[in-house]
Amino acid sequence: MQIAKGVEWTTHICTVIALLPPGRGLAVDVLADFFEVPSAYLSKQMQLLRRAGVVESVRGKSGGYRLAKTPDDITLLDIVLAIEGPKPAFRCTEIRQNGPCGLKRTDCKRPCEIAAAFAEAERVYRDALKVKTLASIMQEAAVNAKPEHLNDIGNWVQQQLP
């Protein structure tokens, strides 16, 4: 059970493109260099975020990616669901219906207690990610980071704009 690397990468990247002036974007190659990750694969992950409505893309010479919503409206759960897909991690295959003592389909109206327990655990997991917005993450980071580092990032972003 491992979360795709794209979740880590794209989350970090969202905190960077959130600093862009309105209407501007940054290219995948540039963002990939910023974190030293493979750009082609990152491109694939950013497409997933775009389809989920987290970011927007602009083609052409001075195009790139930018946030599709305000950092307040983007949660870590949004990013995880965009990359990993919506289906839960625990797969109930209804094996209680199998074998010599298998239940009939009609007697399986309620989910089995094991599946219910895992569903509940995933619910609280998702809730924990839902309350973490991109804005809150950035705020925490701003509080903990050295001011000079924040400046470095801000300046770097400015430099990338043509």
Q: Which residues bind DNA (CB under 7 A)?
A: 1-2, 4-6, 25-30, 38, 40-41, 43-44, 46-47, 50, 57-65, 84, 162
* Residue 26 beta carbon to DNA: minimum distance, rounded to whole angstroms: 7
36 residue type, one letter? E
CA contacts within 13 A on the Cβ side of 63: 8
The item of its own copies, DNA, none sharing an interface with residue 114, based on CB under 5 to 8 Å by kind, is: its own copies
Tokens of 113: 């207690």
The item of its own copies, DNA, none sharing an interface with residue 92, based on CB under 5 to 8 Å by kind, is: its own copies
Query: In this complex, which beta carbon is closest to DNA, that of residue 150 or of residue 161?
Result: 161
Query: In this complex, which beta carbon is closest to DNA, that of residue 49 or of residue 133?
Result: 49
Query: In this complex, which beta carbon is closest to its own copies, that of residue 60 or of residue 147?
Result: 147
For residues 22 and 67, the answer to whether their CB atoms sit within 8 Å is no
The item of its own copies, DNA, none sharing an interface with residue 105, based on CB under 5 to 8 Å by kind, is: none
Tokens of 104: 């009939």
Tokens of 28: 């995948």
Q: How far is Cα of residue 70 from the mean position of the Cα atoms in its chain?
A: 15
* Residue 33 beta carbon to DNA: minimum distance, rounded to whole angstroms: 11
Query: In this complex, which beta carbon is closest to DNA, that of residue 15 or of residue 47?
Result: 47
The item of its own copies, DNA, none sharing an interface with residue 124, based on CB under 5 to 8 Å by kind, is: its own copies
Nearest to 126 by CA among 72, 150, 90, 162: 90
Looking up tokens 């007697």 gives 107
What is the Cα–Cα distance from 41 to 56, expressed in whole angstroms? 18
